[in-house]
Amino acid sequence: MDMMQSLTDNSEEILAQEHGKAGLVWTGKPAERNSSSQSSPGSCKPQDFSSIYSKELLPHCNGEMSRRFLQELVNILFSYIDKTFDRSSKVLDFHHPHQLKEGLEGFSLELPEQPENLEQLLVDCRDTLKYGVKTGHPRFFNQLSSGLDIVGLAGEWLTSTANTNMFTFEISPVFILMEEIVLKKMHEKVGWEEDKGDGIFCPGGSMCNLYSVLLARYHRFPEVKRKGMAALPKLALFTSEQSHYSIKKAAMVLGIGTENVFVVKCDERGKMIPRELESCLNRARSEGRTPFYVNATAGTTVFGAFDPLPDIADICQRHGLWMHVDAAWGGGLLLSKSHCAKLRGIERASSVTWNPHKMMGVPLQCAALLVREKGLLHECNQLRADYLFQPDKHYDVSYDTGDKSIQCGRHVDVFKLWLMWKAKGSEGFGSQVNRCLENAEYLFNCLRKRPDFELVCKSKPEHSNVCFWYIPPSLRGTPRGPDRDRRLHEVAPKIKAKMMEEGMVMIGYQPLGEKVNFFRCVFSNPATKKEDVDFLLDEIARLGCDL
């Protein structure tokens, strides 16, 4: 039977039924399931995996058992997907680390000396999902990346099946060309000239940001590649106080040092203040440092703020500095006609970080570094390993991308994005972004009307981040001051703990500067609706009313 047809026919017949036995594959057609116990071909025949081991799967044996095993795994996954979109199901079934390590209901993390049968492996697959977090659940608001896109999931499955590497055209011809096409499309959305830009997909936005500092340093001081930091003056780079921590980490990793990262003040909405950047530049020079790099953020992690890119670009141009835009979170807005103006000025950047696995909903991980100057990635990172990058191959070796990368082995992250872009088009992604920001505006308006909540920022959110405090009845009449702040600081963690124990919704919290712990709700899941926003606020109020 065709595997996908079987999945469609048998989607309700899953391995992991709450009270059923694991390890059954139904090979009959839907109409035959209710028939009496006939043994004729085509009737319902369960496959018992309890005495079957991996040695009976490909490549050791024929493909029939492998097909049945994978079909059963797909049934587990399909059941999980159904539950992910079921609002009556839990976001998580929380257990403490020691409980998971000790083992639960036959689920053990320990590794055996002897092989276990396929039925146990299937049970383990089911339980791995059971005790994890459904990040695709419409009521998961905890991280910037959420949602479960079925086309993207299909792309990830195909990528894993292909199991190839992105370093040469000879072993990854289609994926290499897809990466080129997708990067060109992203360059177009940034606003760069056609065929001028470059880029590479990296394992996360932090690595993209590290690449940007690496390139900026090489561009200014190419001798660093051979002679190292000892040959350079003391460098200085600049980023806002609300930027991602990976900028400081990049300075640490690259030997520049965190003390040479100048943190620029932001306004009350979390945007870098241009005159403060000028002040930091002057201070760095007066202290004998050489400025070379400025990071501007398009969509800060906490407030979702967009730095004033045109003003920062003017400063970078005037001082001859590399301008990087960390649009890991905000880059998706480039696809929205309603919101793309918030990134005006990004076309003047030397490099851009853009994470499609955030606002665009591509399955983790999918992050791109875009570079305006073509060839710089190769010049900076190229070492010409002759066992991979032979110049006398019979095809155009400029398509061998491995020497652009710090990595050797590089996962295929582009296919799921390419497939989703095919499925949605730029307009579909734009509509998805718009819905997320509409949810944020709805939450913002709800909070303004409720006396039991207080907004951290009074102005309408730029992105899909909404930050707020819950004020329990015991604090509503308390005057502002240190005592109220101390007590309010404890509210969010206590509510979050109760929330995780019950498992029906999930949201993050954090302090920021002098602001005590507050909730940060972010929207990137297109499955989330206004009813989920209402549920979130009601749950917070229910869980926190007696604090």
> The pTM is what?
0.90
Tell me which of 27 and 185 has the higher pLDDT.
185
Q: What does the pLDDT average to over 177-194?
A: 96
Buried residues in 100-124 as b, exposed as e (16+ CB within 10 A): eeeeeeebbeeeeeeeebbbbbbbb
pLDDT exceeds 90 at position 15: no
Q: What angle do CA 349, 223, 286 make, to 5 degrees?
A: 65
Distances in whole angstroms, Cα of residue 434 to Cα of each of 187, 191, 343, 379, 497: 21, 20, 15, 39, 32
Residue whose token pair is 């709700």? 521
pLDDT given at position 105: 83
Are 162 and 337 spatial neighbours (Cβ–Cβ below 8 Å)?
no
pLDDT exceeds 50 at position 349: yes
The per-residue pLDDT for range 229-268, each reduced to its tens digit, is: 999 999 999 999 999 999 999 999 999 999 999 999 999 9
The helix (run of H) or strand (run of E) holding residue 454 is strand 453-455
Q: What angle do CA 150, 151, 152 make, to 5 degrees?
A: 90
User: Can you tell me the distance from the alpha carbon of 485 to that of 324, in angstroms, rounded to the nearest whole number?
Assistant: 37
DSSP 360: T
Percent of the residues in the chain that have a pLDDT greater than 90, as a whole number: 86
User: Can you tell me the distance from the alpha carbon of 183 to that of 2, in angstroms, rounded to the nearest whole number?
Assistant: 36
Q: What does the pLDDT average to over 421-428?
A: 98
The per-residue pLDDT for range 301-326, each reduced to its tens digit, is: 999 999 999 999 999 999 999 999 99
pLDDT exceeds 50 at position 30: no
pLDDT given at position 233: 97
pLDDT exceeds 60 at position 33: no
Of 10-14, 46-50, 340-344, 469-473, the least confident: 10-14
pLDDT exceeds 70 at position 28: no
SS3 107: strand
Q: What does the pLDDT average to over 256-281?
A: 97
Q: What does the pLDDT average to over 66-73?
A: 96
pLDDT exceeds 80 at position 41: no
pLDDT given at position 196: 86
Residue type, 264: V
Distances in whole angstroms, Cα of residue 545 to Cα of each of 472, 483, 507, 542: 5, 19, 17, 6
Are 293 and 238 spatial neighbours (Cβ–Cβ below 8 Å)?
yes
Q: Please, which pLDDT band fits residue 48 given cuts at 50, 70 and 90? A: confident
Mean pLDDT, all residues of the chain: 91
SS3 118: helix
The per-residue pLDDT for range 84-126, each reduced to its tens digit, is: 999 999 999 999 999 999 988 878 999 999 999 999 999 999 9
The per-residue pLDDT for range 384-416, each reduced to its tens digit, is: 888 888 888 999 988 989 999 999 999 999 999
Report H helices in 141-204.
150-162, 173-190
User: Across-strand partners of 297?
Assistant: 326
**Other CB atoms closer than 10 Å to residue 462's CB: what's the count?**
23
pLDDT exceeds 90 at position 161: yes
pLDDT given at position 46: 57
Tell me which of 430 and 45 has the higher pLDDT.
430
The per-residue pLDDT for range 486-496, each reduced to its tens digit, is: 999 999 999 99
pLDDT exceeds 70 at position 523: yes
DSSP 57: S
The angle, 0 to 180 degrees and rounded to 10, between the axes of the packed helices 491-502 and 530-544 is 110
User: Can you tell me the distance from the alpha carbon of 535 to that of 506, in angstroms, rounded to the nearest whole number?
Assistant: 11
pLDDT given at position 227: 97
Percent of the residues in the chain that have a pLDDT greater than 70, as a whole number: 92
pLDDT given at position 373: 96
Q: What does the pLDDT average to over 194-207?
A: 93
Residue type, 450: R
User: Across-strand partners of 467?
Assistant: 520
The helix (run of H) or strand (run of E) holding residue 486 is helix 482-489
pLDDT exceeds 60 at position 34: no
Domains defined for the chain, CATH in brackets: 3-99 (no CATH), 165-413 (3.40.640.10), 422-544 (3.90.1150.170)
DSSP string, 299-356: S-TTT--B--HHHHHHHHHHHT-EEEEEETTTGGGGG-TTTGGGGTTGGG-SEEEE-T
Of 28-42, 182-196, 416-430, the least confident: 28-42
pLDDT given at position 238: 98
